[in-house]
Amino acid sequence: MKFRKKVVVGMSGGVDSSVAAKLLLDQGYEVIGVFMKTWDTNDPHCPASEDAADARSVAAKLSIPLYVFDFSKEYWRDVFEYFLEQNRQGRTPNPDILCNKYIKFEALWQKARELGADCIATGHYVSLKFNKNTEKSYICVPKDKGKDQTYFLYTLTQEQLARTLFPLADIEKKEVRRIARDLGLVTADKKDSVGICMVGDRNYTEFLQHYVSKSPGNIIDADTKKVVGEHMGLSFYTIGQRKTLGIGGVKGFPEAPWFVIKKDFKTNELVVSQDEEKLLGTDLMAINLHWISGSVPAKKFQCMAKIRYRSESTPCYAELVSASPESGSKSGMTMNVTFDSPVRAISPGQSVVFYDGDVCLGGGEIV
């Protein structure tokens, strides 16, 4: 009798993980669905969601078992507290990266082991490849480049990659939706999730106010130093932001958009400008570096890099250097990155992720 591998699929209640489960069934796997609850439903700020019900509906349609596990304590400890700490320091963190690292690829695996699974799978658009020369696994850009999610997975380890499947590596989103429609899945035409994981469709600033205190101060023009408005607290703004600044009709300035250029915590001033070119920069420093292979490619190397999920990859020169005590680097090393051409709105707290062609090398947090 042929041995069937047992795989746990992280089912989010979205179309991607729904079809990932179906594809694995077609490939002969014994599939178990798991819905990961990451927010305490007793918390008044818990996002309203039909995701769990949708995951149950899909599991029933596919005739697979579905377990619901509560990871809200792990999520608060490993993801949300760090998110709040970074916001209080004026940075713009990306909690989805930490959620993948600690919840979807670690806590989920522990539950999968308890269920007797051999591996886990997710609905991420990522290609997993093995390099025979280095004997290492790498995450790579998938067939549907427009849905590439390697940026969010740069913290994964060789051990995690060895026990993970990405069924959507060679399929495009339009085909995923077609499969879901043909199966009559409730998720077939469900909108893709937007925004960061714990906020979803809600207003980010309103959500953050429940956890971070306001500290009002002046909004000043970068060139004239003239006060053009008042901010509610530097934690509530991000570099490059142009909406909800509350600036309009300032005497002596044209009717044009304003952009956040800098957050000055020494003076509690939000620095803005109507000159969008002031957002362009060519250099950054990154800490808390992680490399997919387990080691840095070289002390100095050239590659491509992205400074946010939707940004274009840009050629750059990267150099590993010793960290200063105030940098906050846990490893004692930082990466200095110089781009061949200016990039827009380098934001402390976001991640810079490095690529060699379609291969994700790793990344780090921008400081």
Residue 252 φ/ψ, nearest 5 degrees: 90, 0
Q: Max alpha carbon distance in the chain (Å)?
A: 81
CA 78/CA 99 separation, integer angstroms: 8
Q: Are 184 and 139 in contact (CB under 8 A)?
A: no
Name residue 227's beta-bridge partners. 220
- Residue 84's CB is within 10 A of a number of other CB atoms, namely 17
Could you confirm whether 197 is annotated as catalytic? Answer: yes
Place of tokens 């890099």: 305
Given 140, 197, 303, 316, which residue is catalytic?
Answer: 197
* Beta strand pairing call for 314-322 and 269-273: unpaired
Could you confirm whether 316 is annotated as catalytic? Answer: no
Q: Are 349 and 279 in contact (CB under 8 A)?
A: no
CA 199/CA 112 separation, integer angstroms: 27
Given 99, 140, 316, 360, which residue is catalytic?
Answer: 99
Q: Both ends of the chain: CA-CA distance in Å?
A: 55
In the three-class reduction of DSSP (H, G, I as helix; E, B as strand; rest coil), residue 293 is classed as coil
Q: Which residues are catalytic?
A: 99, 197
